Structure 1
Amino acid sequence: MGDILAGLIDIERGSASGETLTRQLYDRLRTAILSGALPPGHRLPSSRECAQQLGLARNTVSTVIDQLAMEGYLDVAQGRRPTVAAAERKALLTGRNIAGKTPKPLGLSRWAERVRKSDWPFVHKGPPQPLATVLADSRLFPHDIWARCLRRAARRAPTGDPAINRASLRTALLRHLAEHRGVRAEARQIIIMPSAQAALELIARVLLDAGDLAWVESPGYGGARAALDAAGASVRGIALDRGGLAFKGRRDHPRLIFVTPSHQHPTGRLMPVSRRQQLLGFANDIGAAIVEDDYDSEFHYDGRPVAALQGLDDNGRVFYVGTFSKSMFSDVRSGYAIVPPDLADLFEKAQRHGSHIVPAPVQDALAEFIDDGHFAAHIRKMTRVYRGRRDHLLQALRAHAGDHLTIEPPAGGMQLLAYLDPERDDRAISARLAEFGVTARALSIHFIPPASAPGLFLGFAAWNEQEIDKAAAIIGQVLRDTATPRGRSSKVSKRPKS
């Protein structure tokens, strides 16, 4: 019996891995039991015999036997040698299958099954590639200044402060949004969240019950649909016209309407003030909430920027959502929501329920970054940079792929939309471009329900001129290689009139 055990247990003294003798004996003995090399009912040598045969201290062997007995691998009785536990008992204690029984699979929720089949989020393995959208250029961010803000905030971090929404950040952010986006609110209405997506999900959970109707733009932002779907809403896509959401004459009455009025995602269109007033009036008449996602409106290039929809709201209908990850860089995982004043306390309580909490030092660092003028200075700088990159991408696409694309130059934002001929398969083209290291989202997947309008959603903010030129050349080559014999002439349109 001892010879069998000695043949199974190979102890390395001075192991290169640094494993202790106790750990080695435990691992090897447990493996022998689980593999069946030591079958159920097999009696081991006594701890004294085992120690002698393996050249180990008796205390080491006793410790391992006691541990395996406690975990259910061995049966130990006073005055008897340790015995390998019966298969059924061992299976129950270790989570392994009893012979002949098939484990029942875990069940998933209907929501999880929908997530499995969803096209959102758009995940690319590895580093981002040109021309990925909604990405800021982190290479031009003042990381040294931001690091100093973080260090100072960490040193003075409060202890025992129950506030989860720091007054310093609320005050600084409100001052910035009131000046640059025309937001009207009190600081207490600002809820600081780990991301804009988290803010959307919190709003949906607070406002909607399962089965409630929610409108989203079509084409539109996939994250909004995901957040509403997670809340159990019945999500309906509403078509767009030149002024944005085309809701006039509709008879269905939603409880929530999601819009991106400053730079519609993905078309880049601007919702004019007249349409905004109509939307507010419609929401008031039917008792609906409006969620305004102002995701990248810090960057505006042509004409005067239009103030946020929230600033026109006199009846507490608009929930304003924003993020720092677009205006700063993607690793600043912080967003926010501005909620109506009578719901501020409820939202903070709901925020605690979901533990959607941004660490206090990060909030204080953001407050300092804003108060000291670094935030506004960075936005001014990047607005100039991104305007140049937008124009450069337009020129590069005209040069390399103008016969195959129709482009609406956006007045602002971080990406543009290039339309393809109706017969083109934008998903196949997107997949082909990915093979050559170019990220170009297919427009068709942004529609609810799925639509056949093909196009490519292209980001310019995160990419310099050399990267843009290379990507545009690849786009042109792929479009030529996959084109039908019938071509058509280049068309780069002016920004659509609102």
Structure 2
Amino acid sequence: MELHVVINGRKDLAGQLYQQLRGAIESGRLAAGTQLPPSRLLAEQLGISRKTISDTYAQLTYENFLTGVVGKGTYVNARPAQVQRKQSHSELASAELVERWRNLPVFLRHPTLEGSLRYDFIGGATSKGQFPHDDWRRCVAHAMRQMATSKGFYSVPEGLPALRNAIARHIAYSRGVNCQDEDIVVCNGAQQALDSLARVLISPGSRVAIEDPGYPPARLLFASHGAEVVGIPVDAEGIQVEMIPDDTRLIYVTPSHQFPLGMPMSPARREALLARAFELGAIVIEDDYDSEFRYEGRPTDSLYSLDPRGIVAYVGTFSKTLLPELRLGYAILPPAILEAVVRAKQLTDLHASTLPQWALAKFIAEGCLLKHIRRCHTIYAQRRERILARMASDLSPWLEAVPPSAGFHMAALCKKPIDLALVIELAKKVEVGLYAIDSFYYQQPVQSALYFGFGAIETLDIDIALDRLRDILEQLS
């Protein structure tokens, strides 16, 4: 038989060979029982090392695409017939529950590389080009050495002591949060911290108060635990505390940089919120997701720092300062719920992966995180100023920005009726990613506005993207 393999360039030779051989087997071009050329012969034909061929054959054999016959050669395995499982979820005893989960909306999901746009104002994404890969690679190597000396046991659910200590020192410096190592629980992102808190504090029918508009994944998570979620309106000072119902058990807020509108909660409103929560016996979840990047005035005190009674659970994340893919976050918990949350987390995942924990502990301890934050802060500040300048000039007939004092997103309110759905679709055709905030509202009247994330879009691309938005708005006018 003649095997057609094309090698392009000299990069990832094993990957190229693997993908082509596997594709040929799955498509049927290499039929079951076909003998592949010996590794030495194929290496000569393709001009690559015999080891690359042997390693690729070994990988495909491990995955059951190939089989080796001693003394004869390597052959294509017969692929098992695909089993058609025809039972519908509607036939299950749990059909109602399955259907409820199937119908949950998908919020804030980032596109794949193939589905991304050239100029994208997507939120929650960082400048990957600014990530200090060399420093992180060195810290990962340190983590591998630490794991090599371990006994191979499961780790502790609250997180590695080295990382908890590093977080305590970092958060004291960056946010003025005074806590001890033992107050901290390391999580797989902030979302797991919210889930662990919900497991401990919510039972079916429990009332939970959230900002409205607010963060949809938190609302959906609380509802999935059976909570009756109530949307509380926000104004220029933050959540309207007087509207929190009497039987509320849990209050979720984003006081440093309200999501999605962007304003900080005023000091008076913070004090009122703490007093109301204490009156209700409720726990306040303070989601401090991106306040390391502050542009105006002195940093506002966290709710956790203002809380003398132990009713605030502070949730932070490294997804916004480093990379979302790392999936590392943490919760700083009051004594009343700490042990219960640790038990809940242990029940769900035992513990977060120790490799990135060791790496992050080293990364923080060596000052790499603070250096990275300072570098990104300068870049985000430039992008923020550029967007604000455009909102105050040629985009001002249509949009009014809500200047964010922190973070890397801002809302722009519509000053006149605009068909935002049409604007967003037209923008996609010119490679601009735009997002409305209407899906962030729950029970309150929707305010028409666009959401501009400026963490991922390059600074030089902002004017190009906003020029195209302006042209679209002019055409629709």
Same fold (TM > 0.5): yes
1:147 and 2:140 matched: no
Shift of 1:111: 7.2
Distance 1:201 1:211 in 2: 17
The residue that corresponds to 1:430 in the other structure is 424
**Which of 234, 247, 269 pairs up with 1:240?**
234
Asked whether the 8 Å contact 2:66–2:77 carries over to 1, the reply is no
Greater CA drift, 300-309 or 422-431: 422-431
**Which of 440, 450, 462 pairs up with 1:456?**
450
**Which of 392, 405, 408 pairs up with 1:411?**
405
**Which of 107, 116, 128 pairs up with 1:120?**
107
For residue 240 of structure 2, what is the amino acid of its counterpart?
A
For residue 134 of structure 2, what is the amino acid of its counterpart?
D
Asked whether the 8 Å contact 2:238–2:265 carries over to 1, the reply is yes
Superposed CA deviations along residues 147-203 of structure 1, whole A, max 9, x for unmatched, are: 100111111212226423111111111011112212132211111111111111111
Call closer, same or farther: CA 1:227–1:284 in 2, change over 3 Å: same
Distance 1:103 1:214 in 2: 30
Greater CA drift, 250-259 or 115-124: 115-124
Higher radius of gyration, 1 or 2: 1
Q: Which runs of 5+ in 2 are unaligned?
A: 1-30, 38-64
**Which of 165, 169, 174 pairs up with 2:168?**
174
The residue that corresponds to 1:37 in the other structure is none
Asked whether the 8 Å contact 1:425–1:454 carries over to 2, the reply is no
Distance 1:185 1:387 in 2: 29
**Which of 154, 163, 167 pairs up with 2:156?**
163
**Which of 107, 119, 122 pairs up with 1:132?**
122
Shift of 1:95: 6.6
Q: Percent identity?
A: 31
The residue matched to 1:326 in structure 2 has which SS? coil
Shift of 1:205: 1.2
Shift of 1:272: 1.6
Q: Which runs of 5+ in 1 are unaligned?
A: 1-9, 35-93, 484-498
Asked whether the 8 Å contact 2:213–2:259 carries over to 1, the reply is yes
Distance 1:104 1:132 in 2: 36
Scaled by the length of structure 2, the TM-score of the pair is 0.79
Call closer, same or farther: CA 1:235–1:422 in 2, change over 3 Å: farther
**Which of 260, 264, 282 pairs up with 2:258?**
264
Asked whether the 8 Å contact 2:411–2:450 carries over to 1, the reply is yes
Distance 1:219 1:358 in 2: 31
1:375 and 2:369 matched: yes
Superposed CA deviations along residues 193-247 of structure 1, whole A, max 9, x for unmatched, are: 1111111111111100011111111111112112211211111111111110012
Distance 1:203 1:187 in 2: 19
For residue 121 of structure 1, what is the amino acid of its counterpart?
L
Distance 1:224 1:376 in 2: 28
Distance 2:208 2:228 in 1: 6
The residue that corresponds to 1:366 in the other structure is 360
Cα RMSD (Å): 2.7
The residue that corresponds to 2:218 in the other structure is 224
Scaled by the length of structure 1, the TM-score of the pair is 0.76
Shift of 1:392: 1.1
Distance 2:338 2:222 in 1: 20
Call closer, same or farther: CA 1:346–1:437 in 2, change over 3 Å: same
